[in-house]
Structure 1
Amino acid sequence: MAAASPPDDVEILAILSAPRSATYVAAAGGDSLRAVELHGWNARVSAAFMLPAHFAEIATRNAAAEVLERLYGPSWPWNPTFEASLPATGRYNQRRDLVTTRLSNATTGKVIAELKFVFWQKLFTGRNDTRIWVPHIASVFPYAPTMTAASLRNRVYQDLDVLRHLRNRLAHHEPVFTRNLLDDLTRTIDLIELRSRSTANWVRAMEDVTSIVAERP
């Protein structure tokens, strides 16, 4: 569906605030009508991208949770050995995130759903290769191309890093029109496909990012 033509671009820009609109006005070469259309398009493509991002996050965190259950049992969030293995220093404190999350969530499933995106990304670091990924990563990403466990783990980490930063921009209604969104989409769905081709194809059939990108004003 094409974006509706705005009836009063000057009023819309004022309502959206000058600082927020300035990025779009500059990109539109000072054309206020085109700036509003670009802003509307940015919002539409951002909303559309949440669908593939949603399924990529779920697929990847469930893969990691499956491995953690094998290693530490179904109550792995409360396993002291696992807790002690997590870093407790740095800008993001992975151990504290786990402890805080499980305090207000009584089941493993609830903990999985409430842990921060970055918690799952940080599991895919080299420090976990020997203990977690070398023995298990191939089984939870069965459709990955042939590569070493460390290379696959690093690929997942890098893909999650791109997705996390993009998702943060989407969630905070930031401009994404300067990004190569089709490349972002390919990376996101390919991440799903490492785990399940059927799920990746299902997401491909549902996503609207491709068609909205083609409608960019």
Structure 2
Amino acid sequence: MDWTDLEKHFSHARLGRYRASCGGDPVKAAHAYANNLLLAEAMMPMLSVLEIALKNGIHRHLSTLYQRGDWWETWSGAPLFTRQLDEVVAARAKLQRRNEQTTADKIIAELAFGFWSSLFNKSFQGTLWHELRLVFPRCPRHQRQRHTISAALNQIRALRNRVFHHEQLLWLTPSLLDLHGKGVEVIGWLDPKLVPWLAGMDRLPIIWAATQVNLRP
């Protein structure tokens, strides 16, 4: 497939960024775009493990704190949680449109990564942080601060959005490999046993190394 065909299907605007980063060389740019697809695919295991383990860890601890599985219901009418309650309402509406039950487990699964990362915002320092710090039992004490956890989760959330919106991953700062490493570090904070388990299916470091070789002048 030549460059004209690629531009027709993927747009001049999208591919133009790759061509500019490759010094105007369309052959190199087409190869870079294909490599970007491989990198996005290779990011899925880490992102999946982190997001699902994070949400379930938060769910366990907030269920304990509020003594109920639908702990968000205790926030009803509280201005502090307006954004989070709106997201719960939206999640419930999606389930109803699909004729699915609106159980606590279904709502937990439907809520986006941004919902979970938002629970570590500064505004919740005095209400949620004391319990949510326990979600990361293996985070070193000097790093187990709300602002540190929040910054790491927001960095990973931004990366997740880039992957899911098919954006460029090859020339990020910090690099994709470094961001992937941060995600693995956070997974280790949740449970170190998850790290070697993930490593058995995590191809990102190998794919990253291959893309760097392929992009050399």
TM-score range, shorter chain: 0.7 to 0.9
Taking only the aligned residue pairs, the percentage that are identical comes to 29
2:210 aligned to which of 188, 209, 215: 215
Q: Which residue of 1 aligns with 2:135?
A: 140
| Partner Cα distance (1:155, 1:41) in 2 | 32
Corresponding position: 1:100 with 2:90: yes
Q: Which residue of 1 aligns with 2:147?
A: 154
| Partner Cα distance (1:117, 1:64) in 2 | 12
Deviations 1:39-65 (A, max 9, x none): 000111011112201111111111211
Deviations 1:43-99 (A, max 9, x none): 1101111220111111111121111101223332463x333446356xxx2221123
Structure 2 alignment gaps of length 5 or more: none
Structure-2-length-normalised TM-score = 0.85
Are the structure 2 counterparts of residues 13 and 43 from structure 1 closer, same or farther at C-alpha, using a change threshold of 3 Å? Answer: same
Corresponding position: 1:121 with 2:117: yes
Q: Which residue of 1 aligns with 2:13?
A: 19
Are the structure 2 counterparts of residues 24 and 33 from structure 1 closer, same or farther at C-alpha, using a change threshold of 3 Å? Answer: same
- Residue 215 of structure 1 aligns to a residue in which SS? helix
Q: Which residue of 2 aligns with 1:4?
A: none
Indicate if the aligned counterparts of 2:75 and 2:81 stay in contact, CA closer than 8 A: no
| Partner Cα distance (1:202, 1:148) in 2 | 24
- Residue 87 of structure 1 aligns to a residue in which SS? helix
Alpha carbon RMSD of aligned pairs, Å?
2.1
Indicate if the aligned counterparts of 2:137 and 2:189 stay in contact, CA closer than 8 A: yes
| Partner Cα distance (2:37, 2:118) in 1 | 29
Indicate if the aligned counterparts of 2:50 and 2:187 stay in contact, CA closer than 8 A: yes
Indicate if the aligned counterparts of 1:74 and 1:108 stay in contact, CA closer than 8 A: no
- Residue 140 of structure 2 aligns to a residue in which SS? coil
One-letter code of the match for 2:120? Answer: F
| Partner Cα distance (1:78, 1:157) in 2 | 20
Structure 1 alignment gaps of length 5 or more: 1-6
Corresponding position: 1:201 with 2:201: no
Aligned residues: 204
Indicate if the aligned counterparts of 1:68 and 1:76 stay in contact, CA closer than 8 A: no
| Partner Cα distance (1:46, 1:123) in 2 | 27
Indicate if the aligned counterparts of 1:138 and 1:144 stay in contact, CA closer than 8 A: no
Q: Which residue of 1 aligns with 2:57?
A: 63
One-letter code of the match for 1:114? Answer: E
Q: Which residue of 2 aligns with 1:3?
A: none
Structure-1-length-normalised TM-score = 0.85
